[in-house]
Amino acid sequence: MEKAIKKWFPLFALPTLVAFVIAFLVPFIMGLYLSLCKFKTVKKTEFVGIDNYIKAFSQDNDFLNALWFTTKFTIVSVVTINLIAFIFAMLLTKAIKGTNVFRTIFFMPNLIGGIVLGYIWSMIINGVLYYFGATITTDANYGFWGLVILMNWQQVGYMMIIYISGIQNISPDLIEAAEIDGANAWERLIHVTLPQIMPSITICLFLTLTNSFKLFDQNYALTSGAPGNKTQMLALDIYNTFYGRVGYQGVGQAKAVVFFVIVAAIALTQLYLTRSKEVEN
């Protein structure tokens, strides 16, 4: 058996490997190279070295502003999404009637595409703000909180499902033992439930963190960066740099590489930190 696996391993791994090389590795390396070039289409390139990286940071403050806005947004939305999702998960694992219906309903927004959600929410938010003589683009803060609400609405259901599966996996014996030892509800939550669902927390944090940081569709459809690029997140800034200026494709590409490094660094650090807190079942 062992031998057979060894023998056939290359053949079975080949399709995935080829797909990985064609769809991931090659574009990635091309992307790295292009960030060092001045180009219009990927076929005609002119090597310019790190010039693009210098421009990305020195030309205007858009990139740094977007980075700051994205960071703020990520912190707020990661906290709110996970907190709300966890509370829902706790409620819906209690013996309440119709939990399955609620789970389905909470999960549904996640099935709608980001662009559509963005337009729907821009209508809802504008409809409400209309009574106060304002729109979502009146103030950058409106855009910020609009995005947070939108992301919560979309992501809470999904994270909730992951938390629910985690909570359901906790052995009732543990809870019972804790109860017999005299732990109250709060202590049971902190010392039994949370350590037991650490794998779920790792996944949820990872997903919300990277989703928030890489957010594009919702940002594009909800505010498009208005007013005055103040609600522009990193992905949107890269997109606008790439397409909005003559001869700036390379700079957009350089920004994208920086963006990749940041996302990778954050995700890896977070994975390392939460993994180390996980306990064996």
Partner 1 sequence: MSKFKKVLAGALAGVMAVGALAGCSDSGNKTSTSPSTTTSTSDETKTDTAKGFYDDVDTKDVKSIYFLNFKPESADKYKAIADKYKEETGIEVRIETAASGEYEKKLTSEMAKTDPPTIFQINGPVGYQNWKEYCADVSGSKLYDLVADKSLAVKDGDGVYGIPYVVEGYGIIYNNAIMTKYFATEGAKAASMDEINSFAKLKEVVEDMTAKKEELGIDGVFGSTSLKTGDDWRWQTHLMDLPLYYEFGADGNAIVNCFDAKELEFKYAENYQNIFDLYTNNSVTEKNLLGGKTVSDSMAEFADEKCAMIQNGSWAWGDIEKGGKVKAEDVKYLPIYTGAEGEEKQGLCIGTENYFAINSEVDEATQKASMDFLVWLFTSDYGKKAVVDDLGFVTPFTSFGENEKPSNPLAVELLAWSDKAASGDVKSVDWAFLGIPSEKWKSDFGAALLEYVQGQKDWTKVVDDAKTSWATERAAS
Q: Which of 6, 97, 111, 133 binds partner 1 (CB under 8 A)?
A: 133
Q: Does 22 bind partner 1 (CB under 8 A)?
A: yes
Q: Which is closer to partner 1, CB of 13 or CB of 264? A: 13
In the complex, what is the shortest distance from the CB of residue 114 to partner 1, in angstroms, rounded to a whole number?
17
Q: Does 154 bind partner 1 (CB under 8 A)?
A: no
44 binds partner 1 (CB under 8 A): yes
CA-to-CA distance for 224 and 215, rounded, in angstroms? 12
Phi then psi dihedrals of residue 50, to 5 deg: -85, 10
Taking the least distance from each CB to partner 1, the nearer of 211 and 240 is: 240
- Of 74, 26, 8, 6, the C-alpha closest to 259 is 74
**240 scored as a contact of partner 1 (CB under 8 A):** yes
| Near partner 1 in 47-106, by CB under 8 A | 55, 59-60
Q: Does 193 bind partner 1 (CB under 8 A)?
A: no
Which residues are at the interface with partner 1 (CB under 8 A)? 14-15, 18-19, 22, 40-44, 55, 59-60, 122, 126, 130, 133-138, 223-229, 240, 243-249
